[in-house]
Amino acid sequence: MAGACCKCPVTLSVFKRSLSVGPRGCGSPPRPLLQDSMSQTLRTCYVYLNQTSRSFAAVIQALDGELRHAVCIFYLVLRALDTVEDDMTIPLDKKVPMLTHFHTYLYQEDWCFTESQEKDRQVLEDFPTISLEFRNLAQEYREVISDICHRMGVGMAEFLEKKVGSMKEWDQYCHYVAGLVGIGLSRLFSASQLEDPEVGQDTELANSMGLFLQKTNIIRDYLEDTTEGRAFWPQEAWSQFAGRLEDLAQPEKLESALSCLNLLVTDALRHVPDVIAYLSRLHNQSVFNFCAIPQVMAIATLSSCYNNPMVFQGVVKIRKGQAVTLMMEATNMRAVQTIIFQYSQEILQKVSLTDPSRDKTLHILAVIQGKSTMSQSRSHHLSPMYLSAAMLLAVLSWQYISTAAAQAQGTGDV
């Protein structure tokens, strides 16, 4: 994007904003549950995780076994990459090579970058600590993290000055900054042997997990992004309704703006059947919770955004109490299906008779409701141990959200 940074939940949707359940930029996230067996450098990595990920730290630490450390380092590596991409003080002739070669820094013991002006610059300034713990991971984890870092860096460099024009390019952009995170996480799940190999091999479903989160963030953040000079809504969509993207915020353009908004929400919803299919394959409870929570947050947010003029006037967020309820409930496939069905029903009730995307919206909602009511071959049953873990995660997240409530005015983020 010319003169603007890419929109990445960690880069992307899955980490930086998509998995966050608390209001942006507010409060302090829960402290990591450090263990005596951790090295000092690994402890430092968890400190950085808490400093840069807000409430996502609690979700990572609920993962089982060595997967927890692998995902923590994966997050920090992508956070460092994202910090380079976001820093507009780095000239392009320097930034592009840094992005495309960033994966090689993982094997350079002393590489660091001390010139960043970004708020998360500590992950670049102390990158040797992160890269050391990366090199301490098992080879199967290192291969995944390095590969995704390389592919993402190349994709970021491509979109530095490239506008998101067509709907196909929107998918491509979201793949680079979010789909690759979903693919990488899925490969880590399988590498840990907590999940079957097919979870990591089915890149189409994993990509959809990331795209659904990223598109939700892009749709929700229209006003914030356009105010700051960033453009992530695809031109193919908004050009049908306005001469300029920022024109959609004009009161006289409300009808056209809502038509464009509903078109993009409908496009995002087409990933939900893949989300349902992906979640239904998971066996490990901690992995299921890790994946399901942000997805149900996303469909709740899309329901709030659909046909809502507030998208063009402020920030649309789900309530913090609603967020905690979703975290408490999204612990098994049947509950997730019920949540998805309920929010798809809410959207259905908002579909206007005159909306240009009406037929497509009704079709995808029918598909989603069909998928969300199908009986599953396997149900997730909560043992007392996992119920306690889910309660702990909800309490940690509630503490974070409550700390931020003074600024959030009673709302929660995706």
Radius of gyration of the chain (CA): 20
Whole-angstrom distance, CA of residue 200 vs CA of residue 191: 8
Q: Which residues pair with 412 in a beta bridge?
A: 318
Check if 290 is active-site. yes
Check if 400 is active-site. no
- Which entry of 24, 230, 319, 358 is annotated as an active-site residue? 230
Check if 222 is active-site. no
Check if 334 is active-site. no
Q: Smallest Cα–Cα separation from 413: which of 26, 8, 11?
A: 26
Q: Smallest Cα–Cα separation from 324: which of 381, 242, 401, 407?
A: 401
Rounded to 5 degrees, φ, ψ at 123 are -70, -20
List Cα–Cα distances, 112 to 81, 98, 104, 131, 309, in angstroms. Answer: 12, 11, 12, 10, 45
Amino acid symbol at 65: G
Q: How many CB atoms lie within 10 A of CB 370?
A: 11
Whole-angstrom distance, CA of residue 32 vs CA of residue 28: 12
CB 355 within 8 A of CB 289: no
- Which entry of 48, 141, 290, 400 is annotated as an active-site residue? 290
**Residue reference for tokens 């006289």:** 252
Whole-angstrom distance, CA of residue 314 vs CA of residue 342: 25
Neighbour-count burial for 211-238, b at 16+ CB within 10 Å, e otherwise = bbbbbbbbbbbbbebbeeebbbbbbebb
- Which entry of 17, 68, 142, 220 is annotated as an active-site residue? 220
At residue 208's C-alpha, the angle toward residues 207 and 209, to 5°, is: 90
Amino acid symbol at 289: N
**Residue reference for tokens 């409870």:** 285
- Which entry of 15, 56, 113, 173 is annotated as an active-site residue? 173
Rounded to 5 degrees, φ, ψ at 93 are -65, -15
Q: Which residues are catalytic?
A: 173, 220, 230, 290
